[in-house]
Amino acid sequence: MIAIINGRIVTPDEVLENKVLLIEKDRILSISDTYDAADKVINAHGRYVFPGFIDVHSDKIEQFIYPRPTARFPFELALKECEKELLQLGITTIYHSFSLYKDELLGKSPLRSKESVLEMAELIDGIHKRRHLIHHRFHLRIEIDNTEAFEIAKEMMERGLVHEISFMDHTPGQGQYRDLEVYRDTVNKYHGMENENKTFEEIIEYHKHKETLTFEQLRKLADMAHERRITVASHDDDSMEKLAVNRQLGVDISEFPITEEIAQAAHSMGFYTIAGAPNIVLGGSHSGNMSAADAVVHGCADILCSDYFPQAILHSLFIMCERYGMQMPEMVRKVSLNPARAMKIDKDYGSIEAGKKADLVIADVLDGYPVVTHVLVDGKTTSRVEYRRQTV
């Protein structure tokens, strides 16, 4: 039995001090007053004890595969290096996001092909049979103008390779790119016109006439997902009409609603709403959309994800508490219990409660920045770090 003592234990509803967290094998046994029967004691030294963070939308793995556009590293090497970093950031369950794009308007990436998507999904499926540090899951992002994605997604779900799907629409004039000048600027930064050998006017015309997956096809994919307990997300919702369509499709999550008004509506309609933690750290959206901090304060952001910067999850908890007056248990729910519920894994994960998996994070604030000192996954200490001060 393991005992964690002298910690500020963050449960779903409160922060407990002067209590002992007991762990038996891979599960939380209880929160107790004593630890006489413990075989091992971990002294938290007054630090926070969190449940492991669950990140339901992360592109970080792409940066490990392609740290430079011309340098590609093997998928398994990238995955093993990536999980070391994620672990030290307190992320114990990760939904790696891989996209099926049709064009290269938003960047040239061989990772968005069927072959690469399948390779990564198969690797994640098999990694748990070998040595690993955290729980890896696969999030399949389906761009709706990639009509080939319908059969690909069906096959992958039938094979049990997918744990989350999302429907994306990056068409200019709506969603994230409702402002055409924002879309032009983004396409320029990704060299999209050069990649596709089109002028901006030709790109806009292409989007007006492109073929997309039908409502019936999207509904079929959503139904297949739900039959397999796979969560379905939408992306960049910007209107009540889109939310109504999502409800008809059977969508569970509204990822990155564009405005707070739409986020409030999605939340009221029963969708889980997701905002990006980097938005909080940066002080706003990098593309001029909803403020994640405002959405949290106003109660319409249920989940925070890392999106492209996993370091932001830990930082966002403390920023929201220190600058915006939020309570730590509520903020921790947004990166643990709420995502666990959305992904239908809350029976075992997402909170510090008796009977749940002992995925735990001990964190402190040093020099004004939050840091992770201990991580336990399945009751095993997988990371232990102590920061030092130079002595003369």
Q: Are residues 16 and 145 in the same domain?
A: no
Q: Which residue, 351, 384, 361, is CA-closest to 28?
A: 351
pLDDT tops 60 at residue 35: yes
CA torsion sign for 333, 336, 339, 345 is: negative
Q: Are residues 336 and 367 in the same domain?
A: no
What pLDDT does residue 173 have? 52
Domain interval for residue 95: 53-342
Q: Are residues 128 and 66 in the same domain?
A: yes
Q: Are residues 35 and 142 in the same domain?
A: no
Q: Report the 10 Å Cβ neighbour count for 199.
A: 10
Q: Is residue 173 part of a domain?
A: yes
Tens of pLDDT, residue by residue over 40-96, are 999 999 999 999 999 999 999 999 999 988 899 999 999 999 999 999 999 999 999
pTM: 0.91
In degrees, rounded to 5, the angle at the alpha carbon of residue 175 between the alpha carbons of residues 172 and 178 is 50
Average pLDDT value for residue range 23-30: 97
Q: Is residue 348 part of a domain?
A: no
3-class DSSP state for residue 208?
Answer: helix
Q: Which residues pair with 3 in a beta bridge?
A: 22, 41
- Please tell me the total count of domains within the chain: 2
Contact call for residues 27 and 310 (beta carbons, < 8 A): no
Q: Is residue 392 part of a domain?
A: no
What's 265-291 look like in SS3? HHHHCCCEEEEEHHHHHHCCCCCCCCC
Q: Which residues pair with 371 in a beta bridge?
A: 364
Q: Which residues pair with 42 in a beta bridge?
A: 4
**CATH code at position 338:** 3.20.20.140
What's 67-82 look like in SS3? CECCECCCHHHHHHHH
Q: Is residue 391 part of a domain?
A: no
**CATH code at position 32:** 2.30.40.10
Alpha helices in the chain (DSSP H): 60-65, 75-88, 114-127, 149-158, 180-189, 192-196, 200-209, 215-227, 240-249, 260-268, 277-282, 292-297, 311-324, 328-333, 337-342
Helix (H) or strand (E) holding 141: strand 135-143
Tens of pLDDT, residue by residue over 193-233, are 666 677 777 767 766 666 788 999 999 999 999 999 999 99
What pLDDT does residue 70 have? 84
Q: Is residue 389 part of a domain?
A: no
